[in-house]
A and B are shown apart, each in its own frame.
Chain A
Amino acid sequence: MGKVLMKGNEAIGEAAIRAGCLNYFAYPITPQSEVAEYLSRRLPEVGGLFLQGESEVAVSYMILGAAAAGERVFTTSSSPGISLMSEGISYIAGMQLPAVFVNIMRGGPGLGGILPSQADYLQATKGIGHGDFRLLVMAPASVQEAAEMTMKAFPLAEKYRNPVMILGDGLIGQMMEPVEFHDNLKTKPVDKNGWATNGMDTRGSSQRNLIRSLYLDPEVLNRHNLELKAKYDRMQQEEIRFEAVNIDSDYKVLIVSYGTMSRVCRTAVDQLKAEGLEVGMIRPQTVFPFPEEAVGNAAAGKSCRAVASIEMSMGQMLEDVQRSVKGRQPVHWFGKCGGEVPTPEEVIEFVRSLAR
C-alpha cells in the first residue's frame, strides 16, 4: 500500500488497527472526535470492538478492564477528557497494565478552547494522576509520525507494562498529510498469561491472577514504587528519541521544540540559515523520557550563545530544557497558548533578538 492522504486523527485510528489493536473505547471531544468516528466504521470491518463509553472516567476503566484481560486496547481524547481519565490512568500505572492513550491537546485551562495547544506537557510528563508514576510520552510532529508512534506505542506499553501516551495537538489531529503505514511496525502482543486476569482456563493454570494497586504494608508499597521507578529509569536508558536539525552548523542559537511547534521552528531555521544566521534545533520525539543529554550537549556547542524553549504553552517544557542545559546557557522561552500557533515570522523575530 502506498501513500494515502489522511487526517492525523484518522491516521492514528488506522495505525492502531495496523498495529494489531482491535479494541477501542472512547468518548467524543473536539478536536479528536474523528478518531472515534473513523473507528466506529472501520473496526467492525476488521472484527474489532468499538464502544462509546458514558464518560471519559468510565472509558479509562474500560481500558483498564480490557488491558487486564490481556488484550491490546487504546483510547483517544483531548485535554479536558484526559484530565477525567487521569484517575484511571493512575490505577493502570499502579497495576502495571499496558494501554495506549492519545491526547490531542487543546487550549486550557478549564474549557479553554478547541484550537491546538501544547498546554498539557507537564500533565503528561510529570504526573498525570495521583501517586508516583510516569507515562512514556511520544510527541509526533506530522501525520506520518503520529501513525508510526501509535504503532510503536503498543509494543512499548507491553514492554514496560505501563501506559504510553501519544501527545499530539489539535493541528496534528486535524491536519491532512500523506501517510504510509509500514507493515514492519506491526507487532504481535507479548504473552500476558503471567499476570492477566483472563481466566484460569485460558492459561490452563490452576493459579489465579490478581490485579491490584492496593498495598497495605508501607514497606511493600515502597518496594512496588521502587519497581515502578526502575521501569522509568530503564525508559531513560532505552527509549529516548529526538531529531537534531542543523546541529552540525556553527549555530548561535539552539531551539528546543516539539510537535506542531517544531514544524514552525523548522521553517524559521531554514529561513534564518538563508539569511546567514545559523540556528540549531533539538526536537524531542519522546518528551518523557526527555532527551536531556542531547539538549545539554547541543547547548554546550562552542558557538551557541542562547537556548530557546519554543512551545505552545507558557513555559512548560522550559523546565526540562533548563534542567538539561544545567546553567551553561541562558534559557529563554517563547510561545503562545490560546490556540493560535506562532508563525515562522514570529519565531524568526524572537530568535534574531537572541542572536543579537
Chain B
Amino acid sequence: MGKTFAKPEALSDQHTHYCPGCTHGVIHRLVAEVIDELGIRGRTVGVAPVGCAVLMYNYFTFDFMESAHGRAPAQATGIKRVRPDLIVFTYQGDGDLASIGMSEIVHAANRGEKITTIFVNNAVYGMTGGQMAPTTMPNQRTTTSPFGRNVEEVGMPIKVSELLASLQTDAYIARQTVIYPKHINRAKKAIKKAFQYQLDGRCFSFVEIVSTCPTNWGLTPVEAVKWAEEKMLPYYPLGEIKTPDKS
C-alpha cells in the first residue's frame, strides 16, 4: 500500500488548483506514474493545453511547455520531428482538442505523429466557466446552452476517439475513465500502452478519459460521478477503439 501512495518522482510537491471532485489530479498522477515506470522522465516533454489544466506544468518535474488553445498537437509535432528521441505528449480538454484544435489533432493523428495525447473529456468548457463543448451531451445545460444542448441546432456530441479511429493511419486509440477506483487501473494501463507505442516508435497514441466537472455541472462530486456514469459512459463506451496490431 505504502508504495502505491508514494508520490511519483515525475510529480512535483505543489498542491493542484483543481476543484473538489475534479479528475485532473488523478489523471496527472497516472501520467506521472507511467513516466516513472517507463523511466523516461529525463527525455519527456509535456505540452500543456489551454483549459483547466493550463497550469499543469507546475505539477510535473520534467520539461514542459505551454501551448495555445488547440494547437498542442502541432507544437508536439514540431518537437518530435526535430527530436525524435524525445517522448512528447499533449494533455488536452474537450474544448481545446475537439473544438478549436480539431484540425490539429486530426492531422497529427493522420500523419501518424509518434506522440501521445491524453484527452480529458468532461463534456463542458471548464476554464471559461461551463460553456457548451463539442462533447456536451444532448439536452445538457451549460452556460451557453441554457435550455440544454439542442442537437437540432448544434449537432450531436463528437466522439473524438471514434472519429480519429476512422483515419486509415495506424494508431492506438483507447477510451477510459477514472470516475470509480475500479476504472483507474485500466486507465493507467491504457496510458502506459500509449506511451509504450511512442517509445517503440510505432504510431500515434491517444487516450480519452471520460471525466467530471462538479463545479460547472452544478453537482456534488458524488452526483457528478453518477452523472458521468449514467449519461456519458453509454454514449462514450470504454475500451480500446483501435490498435496498430489489428490493422
Q: A54-B103, A58-B103 are in contact. Are A214 and B66 (CB under 8 A)?
A: yes
Among A51, A70, A198, A202, the residue within 8 A (CB) of B77 is A51
B65 (CB) vs chain A CBs: closest residue = A211
Do A62 and B62 touch (CB < 8 A)?
no
CB of B15 within 8 A of chain A?
no
Give B contacts to A, CB under 8 Å. Answer: 41-45, 47, 54-55, 57, 60-68, 71-72, 74-83, 85-86, 103-104, 106-107
Per-residue CB contact flags for chain A residues 55-86 toward chain B (1 = under 8 Å, else 0) read 10111111111111111010000000000000
If A54-B104, A58-B71, A69-B83 touch, does A213 touch B42 (CB 8 Å cutoff)? Answer: no
14 extra interchain contacts, Cβ-Cβ under 8 A, other than A199-B85, A200-B43?
Answer: A57-B104, A61-B74, A64-B78, A68-B78, A69-B45, A69-B79, A69-B86, A73-B78, A73-B82, A197-B63, A197-B64, A210-B65, A212-B66, A214-B54
A296 within 8 A of B: no
Known: A197-B63, A200-B62, A210-B63. Contact between A61 and B68, CB under 8 A?
A: yes
Is the pair B57, A62 in contact by a Cβ cutoff of 8 Å? no
A49 at interface (Cβ–Cβ under 8 A)?
yes
Query: Which residues of A sit under 8 angstroms from B71, Cβ to Cβ?
Result: 57-58, 61, 88
Q: Is A208 an interface residue (CB 8 A)?
A: yes
Partner among B57, B63, B76 whose Cβ is within 8 Å of the Cβ of A200: B63
**In A109-151, which residues have CB < 8 Å from any B CB?**
none
Within the assembled complex, what's the spacing in Å between the Cα atoms of A59 and B68? 13
- Which of B44, B77, B83 sits near A62, CB closer than 8 Å? B77
**Which residues in window 335-349 of A have CB below 8 A to B?**
none
Looking at chain B's contact residues, is the secondary structure mostly helix, strand, loop, or mixed? helix
A340 CB to nearest B CB, Å: 36
Question: Which residue of chain A has its CB nearest to the CB of B86?
Answer: A199
In the complex formed, the residue of A with least CB distance to B72 is A61
Q: Are B66 and A66 in contact (CB under 8 A)?
A: no
Say yes or no: A54-B107 contact (C-beta < 8 A), given A66-B81, A69-B82.
yes
Do residues B82 and A208 form an inter-chain contact, with CB atoms below 8 A?
no
Interface pair B82/A49, CB less than 8 Å apart: yes
Chain B residues with Cβ below 8 Å from A91 are 67-68
> How long is the Cα–Cα vector from A196 to B150 in the complex, in angstroms?
46
A208-B75 in contact given A197-B45, A199-B44, A201-B42 (Cβ < 8 Å): no
Taking CB atoms, residues of chain B closer than 8 Å to A270 are none
Please report the C-alpha to C-alpha distance between residue A85 and residue B114 in the assembled complex, in whole angstroms: 24
Q: Is the CB of A208 within 8 A of B61?
A: yes
Q: Which residues of A contact B45 (CB under 8 A)?
A: 69, 197-199
Q: Are A62 and B61 in contact (CB under 8 A)?
A: no
Q: How far is the CA of A23 from the CA of B75 in the complex (A)?
A: 14
Q: Are A66 and B67 in contact (CB under 8 A)?
A: no
Inter-chain contacts of A199 with B (CB < 8 A): 42-45, 62-63, 83, 85-86
Q: A54-B103, A69-B83, A199-B86 are in contact. Are A62 and B66 (CB under 8 A)?
A: no
The residue that B107 contacts in the complex, of A58, A64, A95, A198, with Cβ under 8 A, is A58
Chain A neighbourhood of B83, CB < 8 A? 69-71, 198-199, 202
Can you identify 18 A-B contacts, CB atoms within 8 angstroms? A23-B81, A49-B82, A53-B74, A54-B104, A57-B74, A58-B74, A62-B78, A66-B78, A68-B75, A68-B78, A69-B45, A87-B68, A91-B68, A198-B63, A199-B45, A199-B63, A208-B62, A210-B57
> CB distance B74 to A200 under 8 Å?
no
State whether the Cβ of A25 lies closer than 8 Å to any Cβ in chain B: yes
Judged by a CB distance under 8 angstroms, whether A209 is at the interface is yes
Chain A nearest CB, measured from B84 CB (Å) = 10
Residues of B within 8 A of A212 (CB): 57, 65-66
Cβ contact of A59, chosen from B41, B65, B74, cutoff 8 A: B74
A61 touches B78 (CB 8 A): yes
How far is B65's CA from A213's CA once the two chains are assembled, in angstroms? Answer: 9
Taking a contact as CB atoms under 8 Å apart, the answer to whether A65 and B77 are in contact is yes
In the bound complex, do residue A64 and residue B75 qualify as a contact, i.e. CB atoms below 8 Å apart?
yes
Interface residues of A in 185-209 (CB under 8 A from B): 197-202, 208-209
Which residue on B lies nearest to A55, using beta carbons? B103
Contact B64 A208 (CB under 8 A): yes
